[in-house]
Structure 1
């Protein structure tokens, strides 16, 4: 950029400020035009972004209804609080079960004889072998841990599927070994290799033997399986959480006694899934009205008013609302209107009567399922909606192409700003050259004028003398 620090010195007319004003005046109309264009483009991108988000939000509830499982919510109720029940909706079916629990599963517990002290009384050395559920774990007892507490700590550190502790009975200390899991299959067997050479007597390490033949430990709590009758069928399981008897149902027992469990279809849960779809659809309509609607009060249309892409999306979605699934032309449930989903003509929004839906689901569950979900290779309305929305959001869709085009327009606007900067820089340099030349010329003229005046002033006395 040419220096203009001395511009105007020769004439007092052409200044750097004048150059700035002329450049600014030339720049301003183009800047205003580009600003307005950029603001509108960014507003359109934002509007398309809001539209995309609303469409994406619509996809999730439609996916939930597009499979038969989505139309088959279940609930389970137990008549007895001591019998808890949970269900896996994907696997459960309707049913009623009479359950009588006669025995709870429990973990085995073994206790040693009494010792005078837990930290100083020695208990012998050798190797303890704990067998729990068919898994054997060897534990070395030597001079570093041959006390009651030392044995307990060694067992706990071994990860043998049992826990050990020392109980102060008031008259001595006893080692207690308990299985970590309930059931007969997790019963404990203890065998030893005693350094004193006798593996079954009651001295040294062999006093902890409990191997099914020799019982030098006392079984204070027996290992038991849970026993119950389900609809008269005897069942036994190693835990109090029974999950593999009735498909999709898990029973958790905490007391013995009789209970009744009913598993029924939960029409309320299904209707809530449909309500979510209705809410998301209506939210989409609000977005469309905001960005593409017409405000009669202000006489202004939305930023995307008249946009063909939005009209196409609206037309496609509305078409689904009146679709009759092939093969259901003569059924009791043919369209969304038959299950309580109707359209308000004045707003384009959906209205949902849950009572109508629940009644139809109760009376015609298979038809309602076929209306929404894919059945025997025929797409229901929800499946069709998922496919439609997927296409609308695809990277090569009209919506994506429109957004990409606007992003490219922003790039072009920036290019125009860069070009404007170059033009203004060129204009500034040209004005500086022109003003500098004019300033120099005026300075020369001023200098010549001063010289002429000086000469005329010098001649004046001579003229006066001659006269």
Structure 2
């Protein structure tokens, strides 16, 4: 008689319970794989659209558009010149007479004892704003400096203690440069009794001349930066010239290489997006893989709309005038020679085409709102749908596991009883010598 008592109830129960839920598990696995593919495709779409939008934003800044300009200065070390896309070609003579400086003063011989004995208040005023320091509440130079710096009414002055040759001096400095930020002191005279105030640095404006100082136009600034001197040009003073020096010559023009780089950034970003959208919407014909968004109206319409924009005239201009054309596959390419020709004749038209609220870049950016809007965009809606679907599949997986556990326990009881019966039969057979 065959000994069947050696069966393993746990293994048999596990095997039989697995058979019970195998079909459900296969269905769940297929659905999970499909959902994962959809989620990956959606993430890829969102990433590529956001990368393209970032590129458009960087190329459409108010002070840094598609057209790049540059400036050269005849002598180094006196000024630093920066330009924007709105800068127009030109040459300018500039003489730097003086730099702007902040007001700094030191209190000589003002001691802790003098501060401790002072009464009343000391007023510090700058450019129409002031703070009154109650001298009855300070007992040392350090306390006085702390009271000035910590006041919420501080008009823009910084107090510090300077130590030299064993002596401690209180120094007041205006936080900003220029004549309008001069420090004005007033208050009880006994605060300053026995102390003299020494000017370390006078409050003065920066002064430059357009042209020669003798015949040119004088221009002042409270800071060392002149942003309204020439449209689209910022001149930052780093050092004053000496009397009799030759005025600086500033030449402003188009940065051809920089402009080419800007256009290539656009071309590359567009081509990358089109390649991604092409893969995601591929029909699967001719042996190629079918894209996750094949036949999807939203993605297909965006691709078509972006392509149509390339062939649309903006402000009476189109991209072919600047050397940008599309090949047979719809990919853009840039003809640098044709771009150079246009930049020599009328470079401002490049910004008129691409930049501003009515330019091509803004129109392209706006077209992606239907998909990318964080409030009601199609991608957001699909992400929410996928999250709900993911929750549903997780719940289904939990139910399958529960069903498996129930079946396993049932089979375990059955096989355990069977094993017990077989053991008894084997024992009986043994008594009669049948085994």
Structure 2-normalised TM-score?
A: 0.68
Structure 2 alignment gaps of length 5 or more: none
How much is the aligned-residue C-alpha RMSD, in angstroms? 5.1
Match of 1:28 in 2: 22
Alpha-carbon distance in structure 2 between the residues aligned to 1:389 and 1:218: 63
Change beyond 3 A, Cα 1:118–1:441: closer
Match of 2:273 in 1: 284
Alignment of 1:72-221 (within 5 A): 72-87=67-82, 89=84, 95-107=90-102, 129=122, 132-133=125-126, 154=144, 158-159=148-149, 161=157, 179-180=173-174, 182-187=177-182, 193-194=188-189, 205-208=192-195
Alpha-carbon distance in structure 1 between the residues aligned to 2:263 and 2:228: 32
Contact 1:141 1:151 (8 Å CA) reproduced? no
Deviation string for 1:2-44 (max 9, x for gaps)?
xxxxxxxx97498624343233234334423432442233123
Change beyond 3 A, Cα 1:246–1:132: farther
1:357 and 2:339 correspond: yes
Contact 1:153 1:164 (8 Å CA) reproduced? no
Match of 1:369 in 2: 351
Alpha-carbon distance in structure 2 between the residues aligned to 1:314 and 1:53: 15
Match of 2:262 in 1: 273
Match of 2:236 in 1: 252
Contact 2:281 2:296 (8 Å CA) reproduced? no
Change beyond 3 A, Cα 1:433–1:272: same
Shift in Å at residue 403 of structure 1?
Answer: 5.4
Alpha-carbon distance in structure 1 between the residues aligned to 2:173 and 2:405: 87
Larger radius of gyration: 1
Match of 2:48 in 1: 54
Contact 2:274 2:303 (8 Å CA) reproduced? no
Shift in Å at residue 277 of structure 1?
Answer: 2.6
Alpha-carbon distance in structure 1 between the residues aligned to 2:197 and 2:8: 110
Match of 1:386 in 2: 365
Alignment of 1:286-365 (within 5 A): 286-288=275-277, 301-302=288-289, 304=291, 307-309=294-296, 312=300, 315-316=303-304, 319-320=307-308, 322-325=310-313, 328=316, 333-334=317-318, 336-345=319-328, 348-365=330-347
Structure 1 alignment gaps of length 5 or more: 1-9, 196-203, 209-215, 454-467
Contact 2:302 2:367 (8 Å CA) reproduced? no
SS at match of 2:328: coil
The size of the alignment, in residue pairs, is 410
SS at match of 1:234: strand
Change beyond 3 A, Cα 1:438–1:325: same
Contact 1:372 1:381 (8 Å CA) reproduced? yes
Match of 1:38 among 32, 43, 47: 32
Change beyond 3 A, Cα 1:340–1:182: closer
Contact 2:227 2:235 (8 Å CA) reproduced? yes
